[in-house]
Amino acid sequence: MKQKIKHMNRLFFMTIFFIVIMLSNVQAAGLLKSKNSINDSISMKSHHVNVTINNGFARTEVDQVFINTGDRDLEATYTFPVPKKASMSELSLWIDGREVIGEVLEKGTARKIYEDQAAKGEDTAIAEKDDYKTFNIIVSPVRSQNETRVRLVYYQPLEIDLNIGRYVYPLEEGGVDEERISFWSVDDSVKSSFKFDLQLKSAFPLKDVRLPGYQNRAIIHKAENTDKGNGVGEVYSISLDQLEGASLSSDIVLYYRLDENTPARVELVPYKAGKNSEGTFMVVVTPGASLQRISEGTDWTFVLDTSGSMGGNKIATLTDGVCNVIKKMNSQDRFRIVTFNNSARDFSGGYIQATQENVNRMALQVKKIQAGGGTALFEGLERAYVGLDADRTSGIILVTDGVANIGPSKQNELLELHRKYDLRLFTFVIGNSVNQPLLDALAKESGGFAMNISTSDDMIGRIIQARAKMRHECIYDADIKFSGEKVKMLTPEKIGNLYMGQQLVKFGKYSGTGSLEVKFSGKVSGERKVWTCQAYFPEKDADNPELERLWALSRIDEEMQVIREKGETPGRRNKVVDLGTQNSLVTDYTSMVVVKESAMEGLGIRRNNANRVNTEREAQAIKAQQPVHSYRVDQNNGSGSSSGQGQKQDSGGMFGNSRSHDISFGTGPVGPIFIGAAYWLRRRKNRK
């Protein structure tokens, strides 16, 4: 039976705010090289990145040239962190001066083909996914005294949070793969040129566009509005260019902030190749529900990862952050600190009243914390969950950059531990290559949220986003339904809670043409509310073929969560293989292999991905010449919101012409300078 515990209403997350990560053993994206080998004749000559952000998703293209200055042919492995919610959809190798696009096959089959071709000395390449950690691109041969060119592309959905968009090009690895660190080093240098070009298209006016850490180097250009008649859309071009000595050791983070008058809205982006084709769509709901500010006292517990990967400056900034947090508390509040590495420790010795004397004493002890050892995540959470006071409001904040490697570490074991307690867990995921699926699942299961922190983030901006969410009610049990046309295979199946500023993003398939009703619902202050609007599925709309891959990626993510929690079975594995091969995506069970065109034909490899890529490139070329397209569907046709009794409460659009939630004061790339330290959260019992 679940232990009934009051939830945190006011949380002090300043710990996160001061974590600017710089590991002493940081590895970066680049070429893997054996630590026991003195051969370093392969290097990256150039690394060119082109990103397009449009209609709620990003396309990232990486074009690289490897050069071999040695006297024999060699194999090259390029590695980079898996971006959040992304899967590789293109791998191209230039053979005899021509681009050859790879095809997706079952992982073992693709690996065998690659090895057979490499053994024969034929040009070949393979893209593989190493669980949640890295994508690895292996190319053979990189010929002596010659150059080899490869290109990779991946898609990922992006969400606007509190009117703030965020894109990360991940380069810095998290240093969590101990086995690889033991045997491999990474050459992250680019010998000739590094270029990063990004085009940002927005259907709504933008207030600010920034690249933290690159403001003095990046060229940011706002294009003229090519559709002034409609007054819709803005286009920005952002570029970074470094000719010599570039290093792929730091993430590139882009922030873009929408104007504070941007409306709450529903956007529906369709793709349908023709009248008789099956359609795919993405729906994005940016709620405008009135969420009240919350103010109550709290007990709070920090669960801090002090394992070896937190070494160097990272542990110093973490401890400084904790000290700043407790110094901002009110004297009637209590705090507790749990640390974990090889084992868990109640560092503070239970709850401490936040008097000035106690705070000063504990701050001196916290600054002495040292990093080292493994990661006993289960024991750390278990220690934090017990001993909570049922008569006081409580909350748990997990801060980690690592993966569980001591004690129970499977996802189902950690979820079962959490399900014994009725509380919300908030996970702050630091760096790349961490166990994102696990930390997302823990937060979602509890009704909390997970927030990613890059080493190159605007830390103040991320602070403000978290702070705003914690100080207001959320929309509980958010859901969306469709009627009027045949909609099926919606993904993700369950949304959960939406905190202030968060969007609901869902994908689906449809058949037919015509009008449909979109119904969004959720609980606010314990009352179920429903908002509706009308939308339309066209007979043909060929602008966004990439949606088929994004739909499949969402389905794959759901299947992988089932596998991680309940275990792999042939049926579950086959579902992922089928989704990956049918939609040409690199997954845990599928890889992309490139061989000569003649070998493709001889091996009976169908050119599914080559055809898909040609369709996508044609659509992208057309869109590049067109003004920004708004896919908003709720203007002037919504029925407003209604309570459980069916009485309308507002009108004039789905959310009554209200603004989307934002941070509309202060300065900086995404909002104001951090002023306070209080974070608020409604007790779970109040939603019922």
Chain segment 458-468, per-residue pLDDT in tens: 555 565 566 56
Residue 647 has pLDDT above 50, yes or no: no
User: Residue 89 pLDDT more than 80?
Assistant: yes
Q: Which CATH fold would you assign to the domain 30-263+585-624?
A: Immunoglobulin-like (2.60.40)
Reply yes or no on whether the pLDDT at 14 is more than 70: no
Is pLDDT above 90 for 656? no
Which residues, in sequence order, are CB contacts of 379 under 8 Å at separation 6+?
A: 340, 343, 344, 406, 407
pLDDT of residue 457: 65
**DSSP assignments along 74-100, one per residue:** EEEEEEEEPPTT-EEEEEEEEETTEEE
pLDDT value at residue 402 = 66
What local confidence, expressed as pLDDT, does residue 178 receive?
A: 54
Q: pLDDT (tens digit, 9 = 90+) per residue, 253-273? A: 898 999 988 989 999 999 999
pLDDT recorded at residue 591: 97
Residues in a beta bridge with 48: 63, 195
Share of the chain above pLDDT 90, in %: 43
Residue with tokens 């001066």: 97
User: Which residue type is seen at 7?
Assistant: H
pLDDT value for 669? 32
Please give the Cα distance from 171 to 248 (Å, whole number). 6
Cα 432 from Cα 132, distance rounded (Å):
9
For the stretch 513-571, pLDDT in tens is: 999 999 999 998 888 999 999 999 999 999 999 999 999 999 999 999 999 989 999 99
Instruction: Give the phi and the psi of residue 189 in degrees, each rounded to 5.
Output: -90, 145
Q: Is 530 exposed, middle or buried (0-12, 13-18, 19+ CB in 10 A)?
A: middle
- pLDDT tens figures, 324-358: 667 767 777 788 999 999 999 999 999 998 888 99
Residue 437: which H helix or E strand, with range? helix 436-446
How far, in Å, CA of 631 to CA of 283, rounded?
Answer: 9
Can you give the pLDDT at residue 227?
Answer: 55
pLDDT above 60 (res 181):
no
Rounded to whole angstroms, the Cα distance separating 187 from 28 reads 8
Q: Which of 35-49, 199-213, 404-418, 584-598 tops mean pLDDT?
A: 584-598
**Residue ranges per domain, the chain?**
3-21+292-473+665-682, 30-263+585-624
For residue 573, give every residue at least 6 positions away whose Cβ sits within 8 Å of its Cβ, in sequence order, or none.
563, 589
Give the lowest-confidence range in 273-277, 414-418, 462-466.
462-466
What is the arithmetic mean of pLDDT over 234-257?
Answer: 85
Portion of the chain with pLDDT greater than 70, in percent = 79
- What CATH number belongs to 3-21+292-473+665-682? 3.40.50.410
Q: What is the DSSP code string of 560-575?
A: HHHHHHH---HHHHHH
Convert 582-618 to b/e letters by CB count within 10 Å (16 or more is b): ebbbbbbbbbbbbbbeebbeeeebeeebbebbeebee
Report, as an integer, the average pLDDT of 447-452: 74
Question: E-assigned strands of 578-637?
Answer: 590-594
- CA-based nearest residue to 116, from 639, 593, 625: 593
Q: Are 476 and 289 in contact (CB under 8 A)?
A: no
Retrieve residue 116's tokens: 């057979």
pLDDT confidence of residue 439? 82
Residue 679's SS3 state is coil
Q: In this predicted model, which residue has the larger pLDDT, 488 or 20?
A: 488
Q: Please, which pLDDT band fits residue 136 given cuts at 50, 70 and 90? A: very high
Residue 501 burial (CB count, 10 A)? 22
Q: Average pLDDT, whole number, for the chain?
A: 81
Mean pLDDT on 467-486: 81
CA 131/CA 94 separation, integer angstroms:
27
Q: Which helix (H) or strand (E) holds 110?
A: helix 107-119
Task: Tell me the pLDDT tens digit for each residue of 40-65.
Answer: 789 999 999 999 999 889 999 999 99
Residue-level pLDDT at 482: 94
For residues 159 and 576, give the distance between their C-alpha atoms in angstroms, rounded to a whole number.
25
Residue 679: per-residue pLDDT: 27
Residue 4 has pLDDT above 50, yes or no: no
Max distance between CA atoms of the chain, in angstroms, equals 79
pLDDT(657) > 60: yes
When pLDDT is averaged across residues 401-426 and rounded to a whole number, the result is 83
The end-to-end CA distance of the chain, in Å, is 18
